[in-house]
Amino acid sequence: MSGAVDLQVRSSIPLTSGERRAEFWFQAGFWVLIVSMIPDVALKIVDFPALRLLSYAGHFGPFLLAWSAWLTYSGTPRRAPFLTPTYRVWLVVFIAWCLVLIARFFALEKSHRFLLIMDLYPTLGFVAGIVIGGKLIHERLWDRTYMRALFPGIVIVLAGLSGIRTAVRDEAVSSEAYGLEVLVEPVLFMLLTLDSRKRNRDRLVIVISLVVYLLSQLLFQKRAPVTRITTFVVAFALLMPLVNQRAGLTKAIVQRYAFGVAGAMLFVFLAVMGPGRIEESTVALQRRFEESSQDTYRQDEVKLLWSLLTPTEKAIGKGFGGYFIGLGLSTSIEYMSGIGTDVHAANHIGAFWAIFKGGLVLFVLLNLAYLGVALGVIRAMSHPRLFACWFYVLAHVAFQGIETLWGQQHVVHVLLVGLCVGHFLASGRAPEKEAGAAQPEPSAGTAGLAA
């Protein structure tokens, strides 16, 4: 491979003890999150109530990721590019504002911890991702971790989908698989790196994961996720060949078609032999698309919430764990001890989440990070990995305008968004010198991904 942008240090360079500790705790936090999702499906297969204890392990995952980020930021030498000084200041300000929002919760609503974790956990994942992704020496770590999570994700999602027998949407969204598709959602990022991978095994897992993810969203009759999948497939088919040519990955362009055919055949097989009635579900989904122009519920929800915020709350938000009561919205919690009925603490349009909880201050801070990625479009076209990070982040931002991808159940997704932001912002910097530390030679392209 030639013409590629230098992204990372050679995989043969040994990690320091601090870097190894950071990677250990990252993997621990990540897999704790994955394991905590198993009981929803496992209890359907085996009658072992003690499995429910695993679901509580998910509360440790975000904090382990945060600990890994701290070790990465404070305990590892400057052996690889990190965020620019400007974005280091941004990171400090962003964390400081989040601490203010947490402090507001403990000052006003400290008894309702469940509402706090709905906002805190994805924020921890996002910050941890930016810090860990910003240290390019850890690129192979998170790439491999997400790749290894795809296979168990396939098994868990298919097991959850097996209970769907009809095209009735209420049955599909009440199945054990609903909400667990976040385990295979990262395949959209992996799809854009498919051509730069040397292992056919990895490519096959990516194709299978994509098919399973698409199948699940068709059965759930989800408009935004199906549109997002289509967007990534179009980018893979039309834009990635151009990026690959600039990176010198000309042979991969031919190989992609073989995996495309394999994926199409697998989808047909699962559609015919798999769970649910995929043809009827697709027709029902088409009707939902046709009715989209008349469906203004989400926009009306945002207008209502905005009108209820005071001028002060519009500036600084209601704080993490903030809520309204008595709105009668579908995202309301029917009952919470200590508060009562109809507690509204979330919303369908994710872009408004930042204003709802952190005001215009948090909204601007979040979008400053996204803006830094968006402005790097020329650099993004120079290498598949950079393009994958750039496109994944911008797709996240765009689809936040019609759905929410920021919540307790989306920590795995938000973590990957943060990793992409940190990686992209750091990839254009030269390694920083540190007294007494040997400077490793950068590798070309994504050679480390095949190691």
In terms of Cα–Cα distance, which of 342, 307, 394, 316 is closest to 108? 316
pLDDT digits 0-9 by tens, 141-173? 999 999 999 998 998 888 878 777 777 777 777
What's the CA angle centered on 197, arms 191 and 198, to 5 degrees?
145
- What element of type H or E holds 186? none
What is the layout of strands, in order, in the sheet containing 324-325?
A: 324-325, 340-344, 333-336
Distance CA 136, CA 41 (A): 36
Residues of the chain with pLDDT under 70: 1-13, 43-47, 75-81, 109-111, 249-263, 265-276, 328-342, 429-451
> Is 337 inside any structural domain?
yes
pLDDT digits 0-9 by tens, 229-284? 999 998 988 888 888 877 776 665 556 666 666 667 666 666 655 555 777 777 78
State the total domains in the chain: 1
- Phi/psi at 72 (5° precision): -65, -45
> Is 270 inside any structural domain?
yes
Domain of residue 341: give its range: 6-450
> Is 1 inside any structural domain?
no
> Is 419 inside any structural domain?
yes
Tokens 């991978």, located at residue: 197
> Is 44 inside any structural domain?
yes
Tokens 């207008």, located at residue: 303
pLDDT value, residue 439: 40
Residue 31's Cβ-count burial label (10 Å; 0-12, 13-18, 19+) is middle
Distance CA 175, CA 220 (A): 9
> Is 19 inside any structural domain?
yes
Amino acid at 113: R
Give SS3 for 7: strand
> Is 401 inside any structural domain?
yes
Mean pLDDT (the chain) is 80
> Is 72 inside any structural domain?
yes
